[in-house]
Amino acid sequence: MQTQGAFNHLFRAGLRRDFRDKWTQYEPEFPGYLRQGTMDGPEIEAIAISGMSRLLERGDLEEITFEDPAISGKVIGVDKEFALGFALSRRTVEDDKYKKANQAAMWLANAGRMTSEVRSAALLDDAFAGSTFKGIDGLALCHTAHVLFNSTSTMANLPSAVVGFSVTGISALLDLHALMKDWNGDPARSNPDTVVFSPKYISKAMQIFGSDKEPFTAENQDNALKKRLPGIKQNVSRFKANAESYFLIDSNLNDAWYLTRRPIEFDDTFDFKTDAALYKAATRFLIWFVDFHGWTGSNPS
């Protein structure tokens, strides 16, 4: 409950009118690396299916061999609910000379926005550990040996040698995209179109992806990365805690999701006994990924 004591400065004349209670927000960041959808139940399930890899050589009049498609294990995601309330006494509203105390809707809306961003960025921060978010093979989003369930081989979307955000680092991730395999262990095409990095690397990203000549070199040779990644979408992640990690994503293959179970709802009521105005906001959503294909990342920290 926000009582008169908590807002006592607002009851007196003389305060300046600039309370710095409103801020210009960045555009939403998580839609740049998470696909968005809805879910109509408290949980969602997923599997992957792989067809045959090779035709078998057949002799004259030899019977054809029949094989069944391979099916992976099942993974399940369960949504979470997020909510927050705000209470304001009637006397506080009446005595507020600046009409600032009763801004619950604005504050709760901002809290909802920040919740979505921070919870989404948690997937990026856990992408190398897999403590919270695990894919269909039971491993972290970025790993050096992803399990291909219809093959004896594995696939890497994490460089074996850690490299910082640089021409060399981005080139290493591009090489991993070029070596991507399907569930049978056969080559599969991946064309990354999005890069995710921290604010400290905004200027460096402009040099890496915008310069006609290769940056940070004395030879002044052509910038191959600009040609390999024309028009790449640069997504700055200000909410991830790891300032050094970065990712390349193929949007067509991206299987990391923000699924809304219940959009954020705002409600208010009045408590007859205490004369308090009550405000609340609540939402339900799930952040998860199933298939690791389409992602590569590096974690220099």
80-97: pLDDT as tens digits: 999 998 888 777 767 665
- The confidence score (pLDDT) of residue 11 equals 54
220/214 Cα distance (integer angstroms): 6
Q: From the centroid of its chain, how far is CA 139?
A: 17
- The confidence score (pLDDT) of residue 1 equals 45
In this predicted structure, the answer to whether residue 98 has a pLDDT above a threshold of 80 is no
Per-residue pLDDT tens over the stretch 131-160: 999 999 999 999 999 999 999 999 999 999
Radius of gyration of the chain (CA): 26
Per-residue pLDDT tens over the stretch 189-199: 999 999 999 99
- Dihedrals φ, ψ of 43, to 5°? -145, 160
Encoded tokens for 105:
């809707």
Between these two residues, 20 and 64, which has the higher pLDDT value? 64
Per-residue pLDDT tens over the stretch 237-265: 999 999 999 999 999 999 999 999 999 99
| 227 band by pLDDT with thresholds 50, 70 and 90 | confident
Q: Under DSSP, is residue 132 helix (H, G, I), strand (E, B) or coil?
A: coil
b/e 32-58 (16+ beta carbons within 10 angstroms → b):
bbbeeeebeeeebebebebeeeeeeee
**Between the CA of residue 180 and those of 177, 183, 185, what are the distances in Å?**
5, 10, 9
Contact residues for 22 (Cβ-Cβ < 8 A; gap 6+)? 106
